[in-house]
Structure 1
Amino acid sequence: MLLKLMKRKLLSLTVGLFGLSSVFAQNLDGACGAYTAQEQLFNDYPELREQYDAYRLLQNSVVPTTVNGKSSVSYEIPVVFHIIHEYGSELISDAQVYDAMEVINREFNAADADSVDLVPEFQNLNGNSRITFKLAAKDPMGNCTNGIEHIYSHETRVGDAYSKLNQWNRARYLNVWVVDIVGVPGAAAYATFPASTDGSGFWVDGILSAHNYVGTIGTGSPGVESVITHEIGHWLGLAHTFGNSDLINNGPTICNDDGIADTPPTKGHQNCNYIYPTEWIDCDTTNGGVVEDLQNYMDYSYCYRHFTPGQCTAMNNTLEGIAGQRNNLWLDSTLELTGVKDLLTPQDPSDQLTVPLCTPVADFFASRTTACAGTPVTFTDVSWNAVVESREWTFEDGNPATASSSVANVTFSGSGWKKVTLTVTNATGSDTREETDYIYISGDWAEANGPTLFDMESASAAGTGTNYFLVQNPEDNYGSFGVVDNNGYDGGKAWKLQTFFDNSQSDPFTDEGFYNNRLGLSMDHLITPAVDLRYTSNVSVTFKYAYATNATSTGDITENLRVYTSSNCGENWTPRVINVGGSPVGSTLTGNDLVTAGYAGYTDFAPSNNSQWNEASFTFNTTSTDNKTRIRFSFEASDFSSNLFIDDIQISGTLNTEDLFMKDMEINVYPNPNQGQAISVSYYAADFPVTFTLRDSQGKVISVEQNNTTNSSVIHKVAESTNLSAGCYLLEIQSGEHSVIKKVVVL
């Protein structure tokens, strides 16, 4: 299936690879898109049709030794499941994978209990392929594995050929990728035919499936558990029973055949709602019609019961042939290298005769990665590769500070980035995951007062709350927001999302070589400092942005920028309607509205003058409790993305009477910046004492002082006996019910 058009240099290399792939219909009444893509491919490249036809002829002509009409040769195939996830429901359990493996092995060995329901015409055609599939016990480096690996990636929402991350040597393993969404509309899974993966096509070899079509438990369900069996059939060279009929465009209207003698011609069926036998006879023959095989694993009816002996012979022949290196998979040397030679089936993680005991790989996720101090955060252990016998959590400034359960509920007392550590252990060994900038905790105070301007000129390095901006790069990948010099509006500083990566010299079949093809749907976030907007009404926010794209048509500019606000430390984010040029463009800035500087040409774009910038704005209402509002800029990339620049975030509005109370105090903080000496504050005291609270950049309180002078001019020295180190500090000045925060820089 032509899953996704190749970009740039890979187009010429792999244009012929996907026409022989198969897509399995997700909905019970869905159909397959393989025919359309395959015919288009054959029209463009006639030699591929000849190559495919020659392969099919060879596949069906070689007959291995048989006993009672069934092959006497048995095969064992090592399997690895790559679970591509973002910690959602697509992160399926090991138990669900083991369940799927049991289903597969029953169905490939004619041991499924449902086979007793075969209609009379096919009761003697229940083939046994004698193929057994085993989860690998050694990875390509020889390390112990349970045959299931977890990979955190946005590619779980893409589900195309480039989502096949970390392929293990296809000459030794059947690779199965599990994702949230398969990138073919209406599809549940797809596989590659052996002949389409030879040569430069090796990297697409394997099966990709939506998580809810794996097994019968967890997110899987009875009735669709044979999807993987169907796809393995394709992976071993089987066509649909209806051959190349175009079910998507024509529906089940044209009779066709798969080229195997004991599977009758069929139109293909998309459900089981047919009356036997009258409605199972659609294809006329010289004998007046035959009952079609709706119960075949290679049909689309979901009435699955069997493979025919002819199909089993064809799959055995594929395993004996060189196409796709299938003849290497079952060799003793391969079984030794992958660790499955002596493993028994079915595989059970509690039985070391079927699954080796490996060292677990520590992994976890949190219910949120930004929170207010005192807000509960749930941490969940999702370690993999082995059963975890014990664990130890540590939470910086957390309550509790340690835990040993698989799920821990924690509150944090201080503000700033918090370190979280998880160590998991079993009899084989232990593993630790430590994250230093994993979760950001906000105090009950702001870093700035509205109205305000963030012009970036005082910003420096990014990533750890620089000047109270927060940078989130969920996958910790190459592209991330950072502060750059000389590329801002008017030539100053700006925030830059570095998306461009020069892979012109990279091997085309590496992660670097696939960089541009794996950009799509990746996310990056830039979050402003918290702003006190309690006394600001009619809030309007403007920001400048510069962007160029690598797309050559408007339809391909799918990358987008969204803006959100939060008044509760990022627990909830509200999307805002963006205006460009005075007109609303919705909550998503994309297409020509996003592009300010035209075509980037796969270069490291940076704006060179103000004409390459544009300004956007949005408005929102505030309440009397909005003392720590943050704005989040979220960029979702496409495969054609280039660099994004953001500058001059201006928060405007009407200053209400209550804040004017603090303004009337005529507060002046000096020297600012200073050299570490005491901070002087001049002001006019009204009817209340004034409290001064000095905090460092992480929210730690340095000093709390009170001046009881009222109704006169005052000069108060803050932290007079403290030697302040270089950095940024926040000075909160409170008089009665009113307060203001001033930023102090110590050089």
Structure 2
Amino acid sequence: MKLPIMKNILVFTTLLLTVFTSFGQNADNWCGFDPILEKNISEDPNYLSEISQKIQDIRQQAAQNPAPKAAVYTIPVVFHIIHDGGAGNISMEQVQSGIDVMNEDFAALNTDAANIRNTADAPFSPLLSDVQVEFKLAKLDPNGNCTNGIQRKFAPQLVNNAGENVKSSANGGLDTWPNDSYLNIWVVNSIDNGGQQGITLGYAFLPYNNWGAGHGILNRHDRIGRIGTAVNNGGRTLTHEMGHICGLFHTFQSGCHSNDCSQNGDYICDTPPAEQVFGCLSSNNTCTDVPANDYFAFDAFDMNENHMAYSSCRVMFTEGQKDLMQNNFETIPNFISLTSAANLTATGVNLPDVICKSDFSANKQVICAGESIDFTDMSYHGQTTWNWTFEGGTPSASTDQNPTVLYNTPGLYEVTLEISDGSNNATETKTGFIKVLNDSENLPFYEDFEAISSLPSNFWVTENFGEDAGFEIGGVGLSGTQSAKLENFGQPQGGLDDLMSSPIDLSSITDEVTLSFRYAYRKRNSSNEEWLRVFISNNCGDTWIQRKTLKGDVLGEEVATSSWEPSSDNDWVTVHMTNVTGSYWVEDFRMRFQFENDDGNNFFIDDINIYQGSPSDDVVLNLSNENNISELYIYPNPTDQELNVKLNLEKSQGLTFSLMNAQGQEVLNRFIAGKNGQNLIVLGTDNISEGIYFLNIISSDGTKNVRKIVFN
């Protein structure tokens, strides 16, 4: 993961999972902290000594001002869940489970603390410490409105290989709540590992310098709590990361040493120095050095049990770690603010659970007629009764907390939920929340957008996953005066925009089907790497498979530095796809065009056709018998996947693509109605064996172009 390394702001810690066969088991974590630290030190040789001095200053300040410490330090927490509508959108109960695990661990109430050793070589159990800190979900947001301490954002473009970009609404994520009032935790599917080995589970920032805008924890959803999607020792990842937030290094920091333990290693004297290991062997003793001022004063074994180690048996914080964390709470300004009585009032953490907000979600919002939807109550706090109203649904009303509803008729429908605790109530109505798609269109299918006034429409569904513009009707087209336009020029980078069809009936197909479309596009500068992806579905959009990708220069090489639109036929590229295979010849076939932004220029799509076999009814218009093929490119070659043929036609004409093996046998035959200008044909090559083949491109007058193709 590439993150900004701020010399005097943040220390970055990363928790990773990998496999170490020397221990004969899956290791729990692997850390990318040291390379980041080394980079900081290479940029500023005084970097680590400045952190060390800060810790010494905090200890000295605490010693000089021995004010009574709080019985319990309470820290308000907010979770920002970035999800794609799948498992990563974890439940309120799993979030609370994550809070519960942390509170048990920091209070030494975890039952597995009984496993801590107390032997001559590992006298650790007497050091088990109640840190006297608790974490509570906020009940008031920064504007004083009620909250359950959880924000949710549907942003599928961000949930995988996530990094600091999820912490900004400008990128489509969720902004930090003021970090002197809330401890921010972002939840995603997976995290960018920065090219290092292993799987990143989470990362956090230490508190010793200025707290940047992204200060907090980024964590995988399956490493929070004990329930829901949590796996293995999942909740302990969050405990570990919260240790970093509170000021702790890893117990193996800097490895073996004999220097003053209060000023070296992890700066804690009752955690023996150790090398980075992953097992829980009770005989682990990776360091024989005894640091100056060491608590044990002898060569103690590795403290596998410590929450800041990398073992799977992490169960404890020590008295030394507690002292450092509490000193931080008492002296670091943001911690002082976080734990203050005024802030606990402002964030509402101690308010009683009373009805605050009615809210709900659905497992699907766009369906075909005859499908059912599962609704989930997301309200808070303390509701005991539910009254649902479902426009267009069966049943039309329900008192279940989480009902399932059938929709049989196409249309756009609202949903209402009223909740009550017997004394208070709240109501939420979401207008146009459920879209039931129109009945399937028949073949041949042709869309030129001339009869559509705006998007989304009755047939076309749009989704916009960022803060950028979405698909709209544009005032320029190839065959007419309109197309589907994406105003991409000047939009934030990283946005994803989808244009999805209603169902189309392909069940009558007997041999082959062609999906073709035209697009027009320009880059804004030559370095733009933007994507067009084409997906298809055979179950009305419940699942999608990607069938075509055009990226970077393949999508288009020409550059326009101002907002652009096509002005001639030559600005349009025709794409023919023959890889809509038999398993997709169903009544509820759907197609989806997805554009990913990289600060380029505008994108247009028009004349979308689906037709069976050779277009006898001229679905793609104006065929001629002239062979005027130029700029012929075939890629990849060699290939083990689909075969792309890019060519330019001076005039529209029919083309036959015949693939012959070395024995002269035809193994593939496709007819394409080519359009004048650029054409890109995607030839499905399923079931083609390895070997040498010859692709014959035959025009209507019999003229042939032959290319050698290698399948491997």
Q: CA RMSD in A?
A: 3.7
**Aligned ranges for residues 329-728 of structure 1 at < 5 Å?**
329-340=338-349, 342=350, 352=352, 356-367=353-364, 369-371=366-368, 373=369, 375-426=370-421, 427-436=423-432, 438-443=434-439, 446=441, 449-450=443-444, 453-465=446-458, 468=459, 470-473=460-463, 475=465, 478-486=468-476, 488-489=477-478, 492-501=481-490, 515-516=492-493, 519=494, 522-527=496-501, 530=504, 534=508, 538-548=512-522, 557=529, 559-564=531-536, 566=538, 569-570=540-541, 573=544, 575-576=546-547, 587-598=548-559, 604-607=563-566, 610-619=569-578, 631-635=590-594, 637=596, 640=599, 643-654=602-613
Distance (Å, rounded) in 2 between the aligned partners of 1:624 and 1:564: 11
Q: Deviations over 1:167-186 (max 9, x none)?
A: 22211111122222223361
Q: Which moved more, 1:412-421 or 1:259-268?
A: 412-421
Residues 1:150 and 2:152 are matched in the alignment: yes
User: Aligned-pair distance for 1:652?
Assistant: 4.2
Q: Which residue of 1 aligns with 2:318?
A: 308
SS at match of 1:592: coil
Tell me the secondary structure at the aligned position of residue 437 of structure 2. Answer: strand
Any residues of structure 2 matched to 1:218-237 within 5 Å, and which?
218-221=228-231, 223-237=233-247
TM-score (norm 2): 0.72
Residue 187 of structure 1, CA deviation: 1.3
Secondary structure of 2:269 counterpart: coil
**Alignment partner, residue 51 of structure 2:** 52
Counterparts of 2:375 and 2:267, CA distance in 1:
51
Match status 1:280 vs 2:285:
yes
User: What's the CA shift string for 1:65-105, capped at 9, x where partnerless?
Assistant: 999xx967642212222333333222223332333222222
Q: Does structure 1 residue 78 correspond to structure 2 residue 76?
A: yes
Letter in 2 for 1:282: C
Bigger mean CA deviation after superposition, 223-232 or 522-531: 522-531
Matched to 2:519, the amino acid is: Y
User: What is the aligned partner in structure 1 of residue 2 from structure 2?
Assistant: 4
Distance 1:87 1:382 in 2: 15
Identity of aligned residues (%): 27
**Native 8 Å contact 1:137 1:339 kept in 2:** yes
> Is the counterpart of residue 24 in structure 1 residue 15 in structure 2?
yes
Q: How many equivalent residue pairs? A: 581
SS of the residue corresponding to residue 188 of structure 1 reads strand
Which whole-Å CA distance do the structure 1 matches of 2:500 and 2:113 have between them? 57
In the other structure, the counterpart of 1:111 is 109
- The answer (yes or no) to whether the contact 1:383–1:424 under 8 Å persists in 2 is no
Partner of 1:177: 186
Q: Within 5 Å, which residues of 2 pair with 1:260-279? A: 260-272=268-280, 274=281, 276-277=282-283, 279=284
Q: Which has the higher helix share?
A: 1
Q: 1:196 to 1:592 in 2, by over 3 A?
A: farther
User: Residue 324 of structure 2: SS of its match in structure 1?
Assistant: helix
Alpha carbons 1:26, 1:186 under 8 Å: kept: yes
- Name the CA distance, whole Å, in 2 between partners of 1:100 and 1:85: 17
Q: Distance in 2 between matches of 1:94 and 1:114?
A: 25
Aligned to 1:394, the other structure's residue is in SS state strand
1:291 maps to 301
**Contact 1:471-1:481 within 8 A present in 2 as well:** no
Q: Secondary structure at the match of 2:518?
A: strand
Note the C-alpha offset of 1:31.
0.9
Conserved? CA contact 2:273–2:287, under 8 Å: no
Partners of 1:386 and 1:214 lie apart in 2 by 21
Structure 1, unmatched stretches of 5+, are: 7-13, 247-255, 344-351, 503-514, 577-586, 661-747
Instruction: State the one-letter code of the partner of 1:388.
Output: Q
Change (3 A) 1:103 1:539: closer
How far does the alpha carbon of each residue in 1:565-587 deviate from its partner, in whole angstroms, 9 at most, with x for none?
54x644565543xxxxxxxxxx3
Counterparts in 2 of 1:64 and 1:112: CA distance versus 1, 3 Å: farther
Secondary structure, aligned partner of 1:195: coil
Q: CA deviation at 1:134?
A: 2.1
Instruction: Report if the CA contact (8 A) 1:545-1:647 is conserved.
Output: yes
Aligned partner letter, 1:432: E
Q: Quick check: 1:18–1:192 contact (8 Å CA) kept in 2? A: no
Amino acid of the structure 2 residue aligned with 1:391: W
Q: Distance in 2 between matches of 1:5 and 1:610?
A: 44
- TM-superposed CA distance for 1:244, in Å, is 5.0
Structure-2 separation of matches of 1:103 and 1:604:
53
Q: Deviation of residue 204 (structure 1)? A: 0.4
Displacement of 1:314 after TM fit? 1.4
Q: What is the TM-score when the length of structure 1 is the normalising length?
A: 0.69
Structure 2 residue ranges without an equivalent (≥5): 19-25, 168-173, 257-263, 292-296, 619-712
CA change 1:385–1:153 in 2 (3 A) is farther
Name the CA shift for 1:336/1:574 in 2 (closer, same or farther; >3 Å): closer
Report deviation, 1:491.
Answer: 8.5
Q: Does residue 195 in structure 1 map to residue 208 in structure 2? A: yes
Q: CA deviation at 1:260?
A: 2.1
Give 3-state SS (helix, strand or coil) of 1:593's partner. Answer: coil
**Code of the aligned partner of 1:172:** S
What do the CA deviations read for 1:632-687 (whole angstroms, capped 9, x no partner)? 23315255565432122233445799x99xxxxxxxxxxxxxxxxxxxxxxxxxxx
For each residue in 1:136-162, what CA deviation from the matched residue of structure 2 results, as whole angstroms up to 9, or x when unmatched? Answer: 232222223333333333333353222
Q: Encode CA deviations 1:543-570: one digit per residue, 9 max, x unaligned.
A: 122334568658xx3744123254x644
Q: 1:79 to 1:404 in 2, by over 3 A?
A: same
1:482 is displaced (CA, Å) by 1.0
Q: 1:537–1:622: 8 Å Cα contact kept in structure 2?
A: no
* Cα displacement string for residues 695-732 of structure 1 (whole angstroms, at most 9, x for unaligned residues): xxxxxxxxxxxxxxxxxxxxxxxxxxxxxxxxxxxxxx
